[in-house]
Structure 1
């Protein structure tokens, strides 16, 4: 059986059916299959005008996938790599700042159910949260939270 070659529009719709993509991602994924760069731009413009692709949906999807494991700084840095406009990034930043402490506590308690016994362990746990992109304020507050509720 011979596989039919997908059009650019078909490929783009297939990618978007799996998960939300940014314009930058789809450009990178579709470029090898296009004869000219204008073809990719035309498909992306059609996807946006048809509401198949949306920067807001993409950012909400990315935040939804990453927020249970990462802090604001890391999520915002990833959004910036997708070249979203500053208004969209600011909207996400405000949304994330409301829940950063809760997320930091959840991540910390999931990884380290026991409170730190000494200074070295405390620093290890703080570094863990810092590497995940949580702010210093959220890390300090999360470290002070009692651990008996952790499962």
Structure 2
């Protein structure tokens, strides 16, 4: 096992959790070859330093705290190579009140309730872009 690759992987994992796909991509960006990366990834997985379930839960929590909704977070986790089963498991275990997260996001972004149809449409578009469903947003405005 290449010690330079292992050290680079441990430095990356020391900053924050990564998905396996993210870690491989970052190691490739550092010009390490795949033959050296694979054993390091296997070693990190076996030691528990690289844990996709833990990454998924922390990512979900971090992004929801930043004001993003469940649809956007699911898509971002998928892009990072996380299996849909792990994504759903993280959402089931996180205990986030998405309606409350939606209200907090809207309060942070908008100073007041919409005064016109155009303002309301703009707010709805923004909240849907942030990953909240149309039904969640509509329920907030009732």
- TM-score higher than 0.5 here? yes
Q: 2:40 aligns with which of 18, 40, 43?
A: 43
* CA distance 1:75–1:115, shift in 2 (3 Å): same
Q: 2:126 aligns with which of 125, 128, 144?
A: 128
Question: Cα deviation per residue 1:22-69 (whole Å; 9 max; x = unaligned)?
Answer: 1001111112432x4122110001001000110011111211221021
Do the aligned residues in 1 keep the contact of 2:13 with 2:50 (CA within 8 Å)? Answer: yes
Aligned residues: 138
Bigger helix fraction: 2
- 1:61 aligns with 58
The alignment's TM-score, normalised by the length of structure 1, stands at 0.84
- Measure the CA separation in 2 of the matches of 1:98 and 1:65: 11
* CA distance 1:98–1:61, shift in 2 (3 Å): closer
Q: 1:80 aligns with which of 57, 78, 81?
A: 78
Task: Give the aligned CA root-mean-square deviation in angstroms.
Answer: 1.7
The alignment's TM-score, normalised by the length of structure 2, stands at 0.89
- Measure the CA separation in 2 of the matches of 1:108 and 1:65: 17
- Measure the CA separation in 2 of the matches of 1:93 and 1:137: 18
Q: How far 1:117 moved relative to its partner?
A: 1.0
- Measure the CA separation in 1 of the matches of 2:132 and 2:93: 15
* CA distance 1:83–1:66, shift in 2 (3 Å): same
- 2:105 aligns with 107
Q: How far 1:125 moved relative to its partner?
A: 0.9
